[in-house]
Amino acid sequence: MIKRLGAEFIGTFWLVLGGCGSAVLAANFGGAGNPLGIGLLGVALAFGLTVLTGAYALGHISGGHFNPAVSFGLWAGGRFPAKDLLPYIVAQVLGAVLAGFVLFHIASGTGSFVIDPNAAGTFASNGYDLMSPGGYSASAAFLTEVVMTAMFLVIILGATHKNAPAGFAPIAIGLGLTLIHLISIPVTNTSVNPARSTGVALFAGAAALSQLWMFWVAPILGGLIGGAVYRWLGKDD
């Protein structure tokens, strides 16, 4: 179990550092219109690549959840024991917080770095209403996070099913997360992962922290729905 929790800690650390790091350090590098900035597409790819690489490197140790909503969804899908939920979630959150801490100190290495606690998406945080990148309402944000996380679990459970092609699951999962970000970055800055949201909200300010509840409740609800749906849809004989 210690090695499994270590893998979840490292994998979630990598996901937040890679995904949120790309948003904080590289998305707008050089200013608007600068060809060196990776933009929304680059950030979406970065999140997908962190999951893909992390799953290949660590999935055989812990299952490669790196996300409390995934752990809950795999439990709902009959693939993960309830007794392991709490230790996995603690390891995931700790890994995400360490990544947020490291990213904060890297970003602070330039004199131009400023966190505006009232700006939407500040320090790669998630939000709704005024804290939504596109100004989307709380209800739109909640629905987006539930649906995106539910589909993420359908992809994960389907790609790792015993009848799925062996060895390709991390690719499908990584591309699935990339697509999810392409859809939902304008709405919530894309969470689908309570640990990822927590790891940066702690440094983003009071507004991000006040809205953090949604990015626990909605992704976990979506994970449970997706896990239950796939358990019915693709039940092993």
pTM of structure: 0.95
Q: What are phi and psi of 145, to 5 degrees?
A: -65, -40
- The pLDDT, as a whole number, for residue 166 is 83
Could you tell me the CATH number of the domain that includes residue 129? 1.20.1080.10
Would 115 be classed as within a structural domain?
no
Residue 144 has which token pair?
A: 């987006």
With 0-12 / 13-18 / 19 or more C-beta atoms within 10 angstroms meaning exposed / middle / buried, residue 165 is exposed
Would 193 be classed as within a structural domain?
yes
Q: What percent of the chain has pLDDT over 70?
A: 97
- The pLDDT, as a whole number, for residue 32 is 62
Would 9 be classed as within a structural domain?
yes
Higher pLDDT, residue 236 or 166: 166
* Mean pLDDT, residues 95-117: 95
For 141-157, how does the pLDDT look when each residue is reduced to its tens digit (9 = 90+)? 999 999 999 999 999 99
Domain that holds residue 145: 2-110+120-233
CA-CA-CA-CA torsion sign (39, 41, 44, 50): negative
Would 169 be classed as within a structural domain?
yes
Q: Please, which residues have CB within 8 angstroms of residue 215's CB and are 6 or more apart in sequence?
A: 126, 145, 188, 191, 194, 197, 198, 201
Would 22 be classed as within a structural domain?
yes
- The pLDDT, as a whole number, for residue 235 is 72
Would 209 be classed as within a structural domain?
yes
Mean pLDDT score of the chain: 95
- The pLDDT, as a whole number, for residue 237 is 46
For 27-83, how does the pLDDT look when each residue is reduced to its tens digit (9 = 90+)? 888 776 667 788 999 999 999 999 999 999 999 999 999 999 999 999 999 999 999
Would 172 be classed as within a structural domain?
yes
130/177 Cα distance (integer angstroms): 25
The tally of CA atoms less than 13 A away on the side-chain side of residue 41 is 4
Confidence band, pLDDT 50/70/90 cuts, at residue 236: low
150/220 Cα distance (integer angstroms): 9
Q: Are 55 and 7 in contact (CB under 8 A)?
A: no
Would 195 be classed as within a structural domain?
yes
Give how many domains the chain has, as a whole number: 1
